[in-house]
A and B are shown apart, each in its own frame.
Chain A
């Protein structure tokens, strides 16, 4: 099982300190919810955990059985859903999933893409270009993309954005499955999503010293 250790992590954009000295660790099937007002750094923290940006100071260590994993190894086992995740609009959902599975090096067929789309209740529009999808359908497709590698680490940023009631039920089921499979981190402001994690990390906006409040349910 993958372990995640975040040690005194700080991020500054030009002169603006987003947060500083965040530390936490997750192992086995732990789940963490990150909350905080707009601008507190929830999305930035998830981007750091994906390896898209580098921290100003501090460390992010993914390890397994005592061995540190490279970012390439981490990404192969990581799923991510966020507003900043955009799939190819000119391609169909099936083409998108097939393409990303191929570049990930997964043994994946069109039938697997259809199964994922069916799981997200998108099976009827698998051959339609993503450009024709509604915002909610695109959000569901992002989950299908994130679940491609059967991720051991799932990072969700405002996961219920644009989802209807049925979509929220699907999200609940994905969350429950992920808690059996590996690590789960959810960044949210929605009070209905706080229960997704066993642990809560509260980030503070402006007052960066207020970042380390942690509550364990």
Chain B
């Protein structure tokens, strides 16, 4: 992970794509619907759509970059598949946390969002990003092997991320309306289960994806 962060700081390979995409999408949304007082349900949906598509523009690059620059061979020779997966997962999570720390405050300011249940909101965003990075990392590893990588990530990731998106949108809506952690416990349970299942499957599958 340290190597990925150092490499990213020097090349800005993923962060530029993610942040630029997120800011442009956010600006477009705020210009078109910013003047209207949207219901929390729509605001929550828009927030997660921005986060999902911004992530789609940058997260697959962790593996695509290794394949395209052919450094994948040296990595395969030197590292265990589990070590590679966990390193890339942590890198993607940090990237998403940086993205969220920029996008979420901007979204709140531009869209005039009033968050009444802040503790639950923060928890849902963190769990949502963890789920997003977990699912995105394994899909990114699969996509990196494909000949046509361009739009494949969004297509493959969407059905896998759909349960996560539905839950996070619903929980964010609840938090914006003043929901508490106790009241949103069922949402938290679903998110924690999703993350657990996704990480377990990813760790089991990754070695096959990585070696072939």
Residues of A in contact with B (beta carbons under 8 Å apart): 50-52, 54, 72, 75, 78, 80, 82, 84-91, 95, 99-100, 103-104, 129, 145
- Kindly identify, within residues 179 to 195 of chain B, every residue whose CB is under 8 Å from any CB belonging to chain A: none
Query: B71's contact among A72, A86, A129, by CB below 8 Å, is which?
Result: A86
Are A103 and B76 touching (Cβ within 8 A)? no
CB distance from A146 to the nearest CB of B (A): 9
Contact with A along B54-77 (1 / 0, CB 8 A): 000000000000000111011111
CB-CB < 8 A to A145: which residues of B? 74
- Kindly identify, within residues 14 to 71 of chain B, every residue whose CB is under 8 Å from any CB belonging to chain A: 69-71
Task: Give complex CA distance A145, B211 in Å.
Answer: 21
Task: Give complex CA distance A54, B10 in Å.
Answer: 35
Residues of B in contact with A (beta carbons under 8 Å apart): 2-3, 6-7, 10-11, 69-71, 73-80, 83, 211-212
Task: Give complex CA distance A90, B69 in Å.
Answer: 11
Are A86 and B7 touching (Cβ within 8 A)? no
Query: B79's contact among A50, A86, A103, by CB below 8 Å, is which?
Result: A103
Q: How many A-B residue pairs have CB under 8 A?
A: 52
Task: Give complex CA distance A85, B80 in Å.
Answer: 17
Task: Give complex CA distance A90, B8 in Å.
Answer: 9
Are A84 and B73 touching (Cβ within 8 A)? yes
CB-CB < 8 A to B6: which residues of A? 91, 95
CB-CB < 8 A to B80: which residues of A? 72, 103
Which residue among A50, A87, A103, A145 has the maximum number of chain B CB atoms within 10 Å of its CB? A103
Are A80 and B69 touching (Cβ within 8 A)? no
List 21 contacting pairs A-B, 8 Å CB cutoff, sorted by A: A50-B77, A52-B73, A72-B80, A75-B76, A75-B77, A80-B73, A82-B73, A84-B73, A85-B73, A85-B74, A86-B69, A87-B71, A88-B7, A88-B69, A95-B3, A99-B3, A100-B74, A103-B75, A103-B78, A104-B78, A104-B79
CB distance from A158 to the nearest CB of B (A): 15
